[in-house]
Amino acid sequence: METIRGIGVSGGIAIGAIRVLDTVDHAVERRVVDDPKAEVERFRAARDTAVDQLKQLRDRTAAEFGEGKAELFDTHQLMLQDPDYVESIEDLITSSRVNAEFAVNSTAEQFAAMFAAMDNSYMQARAADVRDVSRRVINVLEGKRGGGAQDGDGDSHIILAEDLAPSETVQLDRSKVLGFVTAKGSANSHTAILARTMGLPAIIGIGDGFDPADDGHTAVIDGTSGMVFVDPDEATLTEYQGKKAQYEEHLRLLQELKGKPTETKSGQQVRLYANIGRPSDVTAVLANDAEGIGLFRSEFLYLESRDYPTEEFQFEAYKEVAQKMGDRLVVIRTLDIGADKQVGYFNLEHEDNPALGYRAIRICLTRPEIFKVQLRALLRASVYGNIAIMLPMITSVQEVRDAKQILGEVKDELRGGHIDFDGHIQVGIMIETPASVIMADELAAEVDFFSIGTNDLTQYTLACDRQNPNLGRFADPHSPAVLRMIRMATEAAHRHGIWCGICGELGADLELTDTFLEIGLDELSVSPTSVLPLRNAIRNHENG
């Protein structure tokens, strides 16, 4: 038996034969062309064909997985039509007189390296997307099928590959594929997201554990722990057959919790919300029966735009989410740009320590022209549902008052234009700095709610850079100091009659559920897939 450890990105257990896919990109030959102009036209024709293929793939994905996941292929089409991308390819063909295949491949590597070098993990994962769309164009140029990996006919199997592109993943035959394991990949990639949507156990990053000679061998994969067992012995096989049955029964029981109240056996109630990054995520929120949205990360509207998103663009996004959620609360965080989320068109200066730098509310207060556009969109959308505004990275009472003054100016402008908005819209703040905890009583007097951002609160309380992998043993979110901060903020909120929740990753940590209930948190906002497991834990709590 061979034991391999990777990174589990989609839960579940699969047991079956391995099928190795040859998905490694082969070297692209560089050739000198006699007619660069004709080669540019050849590239354009291939690009247009690739766009048509992506349109077909988008329609198939929408029909099978919903509009939200289909938006990925809208993004891929935009990548192929991006002026910088196209210009780079055509300039290389013209100036160096090279073949289109080589120009596309070179440009893809250049853009992928640019994405990979960014501090933001979401943008780093886009390196795989630009390679995916470029490989599609190269396949068209080379006369190959553009559909990506084919898993073939035959019995059910586990896919083992060097890597899988999103377009390849979505085309796998789910009636035959039990799960997949890749040598490369990112937990934030669209491939990982699609695996979770498809309900396929998936493991990435096994590195040197990838061995094409394993084709046909039996394997057990655990998409939660990231463990892979090739040719498992009898004891391991029996153990994981039992775990697989338990996991499937657990999923069945969780589905029965839909529609049931989130309360302990003694009647203590907790509101269970979900975190989202874009409007399409609402589908998962509703599918997992979340009671509201506790964190809409509005900065993704900025991260995914080439320029400042307009008021109308933002209004439509917020309106869509509010309408889909009906009466359920939607807490929208104002833009949290800076630190690990860099946006080129903001033209932010390099900072030696961006986590302590010019970010979030600090940008909004010093560039009110940007802030007002977002606030106008939020207020206009507020008449279409139950929206609340949340201010990030607050460290002082004055920051809150300054933000509320700008909000008041925007309200006056809307009234002057006879534009409707919710005049009683809730305004809250994120508690994610020690300063905000220390000033919690004063801050609670200014706002309608607190939402504790445990990722940054842990970073700032323990003086541990959350992006530094060498600090894992020191950046302990279970630290008594962090938990005491959470208690202090909650108690201050309750003293002033406002509610307090958590919107950081810690909210879904089942080891701390009892602690959070004892502290008296009013709300927990987690990823949509964590809603039902957390509801189960709360409903089984004995001492509410």
Ligand-binding annotation for 347, yes or no, is: no
Reduced to 3 states (helix: H, G, I; strand: E, B; else coil), residue 81 is coil
> What is the spatial distance between Cα 234 and Cα 237, in angstroms, rounded to a whole number?
5
Query: Which tokens in the block code for residue 35?
Result: 């007619």
What is the chain's Cα-based Rg?
A: 25
> What is the spatial distance between Cα 400 and Cα 433, in angstroms, rounded to a whole number?
14
Q: Tell me, what DSSP letter sits at residue 338?
A: B
Ligand-binding annotation for 432, yes or no, is: yes
End-to-end alpha carbon distance in the chain: 46
Determine the distance from the C-alpha atom of residue 74 to the mean position of all C-alpha atoms in its chain, rounded to a whole number: 17
Order the strands of the 177-182 sheet from edge to edge: 2-5, 227-230, 218-222, 13-21, 157-161, 177-182, 202-204, 7-10
> What is the spatial distance between Cα 298 and Cα 531, in angstroms, rounded to a whole number?
21
Instruction: Check the CA dihedral 297-58-142-47 and report its sign.
Output: negative
Instruction: Check the CA dihedral 454-457-459-462 and report its sign.
Output: negative
String of b and e for 117-135 (b: at least 16 CB within 10 Å)? ebebebbbbbbbbbbbbbb
Contact 338, 360 (CB under 8 A): yes
> What is the spatial distance between Cα 150 and Cα 169, in angstroms, rounded to a whole number?
9
**Helices 36-65 and 67-80 sit at what angle, rounded to 10 degrees?**
170
Query: Which tokens in the block code for residue 49?
Result: 């064909």
Phi, psi of 524 (to 5 degrees): -130, 125
Reduced to 3 states (helix: H, G, I; strand: E, B; else coil), residue 265 is coil
Ligand-binding annotation for 543, yes or no, is: no
Is 494 catalytic? The answer is no
> Smallest Cα–Cα separation from 22: which of 171, 172, 149, 152?
149
**Helices 36-65 and 100-116 sit at what angle, rounded to 10 degrees?**
50
Instruction: Check the CA dihedral 254-256-262-268 and report its sign.
Output: negative
Tokens 């396949």 map to which residue?
139
**Choice among 76, 190, 364, 500 that is catalytic:** 190
> Smallest Cα–Cα separation from 530: which of 274, 321, 280, 286?
274
**Choice among 364, 464, 500, 503 that is catalytic:** 503
Contact 239, 9 (CB under 8 A): no
Is 464 catalytic? The answer is no
Ligand-binding annotation for 456, yes or no, is: yes
Numbered residues of the known binding site for phosphoenolpyruvate: 297, 333, 455-456, 466
Binding site: which residues? 297, 333, 432, 455-456, 466
- Annotated binding-site members for Mg(2+): 432, 456
Residues forming the active site:
190, 503
